[in-house]
Structure 1
Amino acid sequence: MFGYVMHRLFIMIPTLLVISALIFLIIQAPPGDYLSTYMAELQSQGEAVDPGKIAYLRAQYGLDQPLHIQYIRWIAALLQGDMGYSFEYGLPVNEVVGDRLLLTIIVSAATIAFIWIVSFPIGIYSATHQYSLGDYGLTFLGYLGLATPSFLLALVLLYFANVYFGISIGGLMDPVYIDAPWSWAKAWSVLEHLWIPVIVIGTAGTAGMIRRLRANLLDELQKQYVVTGRAKGLPPGRLLVKYPLRVALNPFVADIGTLLPEVVSGAVIVSVVLSLPTTGPMLLDALRSQDMYLAGSFLMFLALLTVAGVFLSDLALAVLDPRIRLGGGAGR
């Protein structure tokens, strides 16, 4: 186990380096940079642009250097915990992110918990009561959840909350707490507003997880060892939990690597619709304006979530499923 963990940790380093290079090249692919875009906007508004000032800013932030020099400087700064400077906000990226990253983590963790808590019992019920009225109803709701875009569900909830209840469900806290320091009152306000984005963002993931768990569990329940255990008179509950359910939980664990970044990145449009102060809208604006350091830091954060999630899911799968061995074919 120790050797496998060290090997995977060693592999993560070149993986993140390759991802960082791809992120940097993709952000730099459009012609120009943030300052070029900024100059074009000023000129379109009829304002004067000082070329000397633009050249000074480009030299100050290293935008006049070759791409490989800019990449090395960016990576070296990231390794030291410096995410760079946001041109659009005129502040270091560490200060710009601020509470947004914390709120993003809170929303993402709550959404993942919602997906697991809701899909787990529903998937088990649908598999153990196949073709029943409840199975058909839950299957219909699952397809409905998969077919409904998250942003459309957010718009519908906004409309009904405003028209029928006269309240606004946008944001993650009351306006009075937006720029206030953290306190118990602010935390409680976040919890009061959290359930709307969690339901909106987690609906599609919950529906998909229900379908996968139901299909996997149905497949396991029809295998020979389950039929043999049933013939020997094992109690249905013990027979279900002992092996079929344990093996059918593989998609729950295997999806950790993709679920974390999907929840963060997939909530961008929902965050815009619901006016959530998370990293999603900021990432979208940073990509539009070619704010390289801000966009690159966000994308590297998603990459780190993916790599770390896959690593954790592999370890958890080895513990959950006795058929999986960390050594692969090395011991044959």
Structure 2
Amino acid sequence: MAKAKTGKPHGGLATFFTRRLIQAVPVLLGIVLFSFVILHLAPGDAIDVMAGEAGTGDAAYMAQLREKYGLDQPLHIQLLRYGTQIAQLDLGYSIRNNAPVRDLILQRVGPTLLLMGVSIVLSVAMGVLFGAVAAIRRNTLIDDLISLVALLAYAMPIFWIGLMFIILFSVTLGVLPSGGFYDVVRQDVGPLARGLDVGRHLVLPALTLSLFYFAIYTRLMRASMLEVMGLDYIRTARAKGLGAAKVTIRHVVRNALLPIVTMLGMQTASLLGGAVVVETVFNWPGLGRLTYDAVFQRDYSLLIGILLMSSILVIIINMLVDLAYSWLDPRIVAR
């Protein structure tokens, strides 16, 4: 009986993630198909942008470039060729940047993951902490102040928060850099100094991106804790003589975290969207900034590659959310 008991969760977890991986395949295929068709139906392409920047409209030269890169082929032929490339883990070639799309994405995915990771940790940690304090001190001045701060953070646009941070901390106080990933003039420093330098440049973008989600998690945590506090098993735990701190930490907070984890998984895609704005404001060299540039350059191969990579990131993060769910509530794995 003991062996069956210990083996079941692992088998259930493996089946759970296998099912998620199988479901991810048609999702990715649908994303590639939809984005490819929509982008290529839009007027213009990278050749038009390059010709405009070069100040030439020679039809023969533009036709030669389209033939060179296969843009003169019918849409279904281009789609078939691109699907074959994807199957070979080849994301295509960026005409505008004169480099493979895979290399461009790999150069930028690290800063984006760093920004997203720090922003998620900050927003969830602050949201859980302030939401729990607001629930414990409900209907008091502390609760009102936390609710007011959360409302202000939620109401302010992300780009406006970023600009205000730049004016305050960079222009007025001069304590933090206004943008970039590290100081160009300090390229010969050691790894510790480089890490501290990147950390200084990360402070403002991470705070800007996390404030909006901090407001959501604060309100959600407060409401969830108040709901859990009123359940029967909480009253039973208190009636048995358990201390208030033990009841709050072991029973209330753990069960109140389930909606937070759900919201985190749902907002991964919107977090990537917010990263586009933040990376543009702070000139952060991530996927968001690369997406912004690719849109104006009409670099469709790069755009589709970024969208595919972003979709994979969203799927991976949602699988990690499922793993967190299985730890908070093991019954979910069996469903």
TM superposition score normalised by structure 1: 0.88
2-side partners of 1:188 and 1:23: how far apart? 39
Aligned equivalents of 1:257, 1:92: Cα separation in 2: 31
Deviation readout 1:280-325 (Å, 9 max, x if unpaired): 1220221233211111111111211222222332232133125x43
2:323 equivalent to 1:315: yes
What is residue 192 of structure 1 aligned with on the other side?
200
Amino acid at match of 2:215: A
Aligned with 2:183 (options 155, 160, 174):
174
Contact 1:258 1:306 in 2 (8 A): no
Checking the alignment, whether the CA contact within 8 Å between 1:271 and 1:277 is kept in structure 2 is yes
Q: Which has the higher helix share?
A: 2
Distance 1:210 1:269 in 2: 23
Q: Which runs of 5+ in 1 are unaligned?
A: none
Q: Name the amino acid aligned to 1:173.
A: Y
Aligned-pair CA distance for 1:162? 4.5
Deviation at 1:226, TM superposition (A): 1.4
Instruction: Give 3-state SS (helix, strand or coil) of 2:182's partner.
Output: coil
Shift of 1:77: 2.1
Q: How does 1:226-265 map to 2 (within 5 A)?
A: 226-265=234-273
What letter is aligned with 1:36?
D
The offset of 1:201, in angstroms, is: 0.9
Cα displacement string for residues 196-241 of structure 1 (whole angstroms, at most 9, x for unaligned residues): 1111111001111111111111111011221222223221122223
1:21 has 2:33 as partner: yes
Assess, with a 3 A threshold, how the Cα gap between structure 1 residues 163 and 289 changes in structure 2: closer, same or farther. Answer: closer
Determine which of 120, 139, 142 is the counterpart of 2:150. Answer: 142
* Structure 1 runs of 4+ with >4 Å offset: 180-184
The 1:163–1:197 alpha-carbon spacing in structure 2 relative to 1, beyond 3 Å, is closer
Structure 1 distance, partners of 2:257, 2:30, is: 32
Residue type of the partner of 1:133? L
Are the structure 2 counterparts of residues 17 and 218 from structure 1 closer, same or farther at C-alpha, using a change threshold of 3 Å?
same
Residues 259 and 294 of structure 1: CA distance in aligned 2, closer, same or farther (over 3 Å): same
How far off its partner does 1:163 sit? 4.3
Change in CA separation of 1:4 and 1:140 when aligned onto 2, cut-off 3 Å: same
Letter in 2 for 1:190: V
CA–CA separation in structure 1 for the residues paired with 2:168 and 2:318: 39
Give the C-alpha shift of residue 267 in structure 1. 2.0
* Pair 157,193 (structure 1): closer, same or farther in 2 beyond 3 Å: same
| 1:95-134 → structure 2 map (5 Å cutoff) | 95-134=103-142
Amino acid at match of 2:80: I
Aligned length: 322
Q: Could you report, residue by residue, the CA deviation over 1:117-172 in whole angstroms, capped at 9, with x for unpaired residues?
A: 22222111111111121111111111111011111111112222354324642222
1:303 to 294, 311, 315: 311
Query: Are 1:291 and 2:299 an aligned pair?
Result: yes
> What is the distance in 2 between the residues matched to 1:144 and 1:306?
28
Separation (CA, whole Å) in 1 of partners of 2:191 and 2:285: 17
1:223 aligns with 2:231: yes
RMSD after superposition: 2.3
Amino acid at match of 1:325: I
Quote the residue 1:59 is aligned against: 67
Decide whether the 8 Å contact of 1:257 with 1:308 is kept in 2.
Answer: no
Asked whether 1:73 is paired with 2:81, we answer yes
SS, match of residue 332 in structure 2: coil
Asked if the contact 2:112/2:275 (under 8 Å) is kept, the reply is no
Q: Is the 8 A contact 2:137 2:143 kept in 1?
A: yes
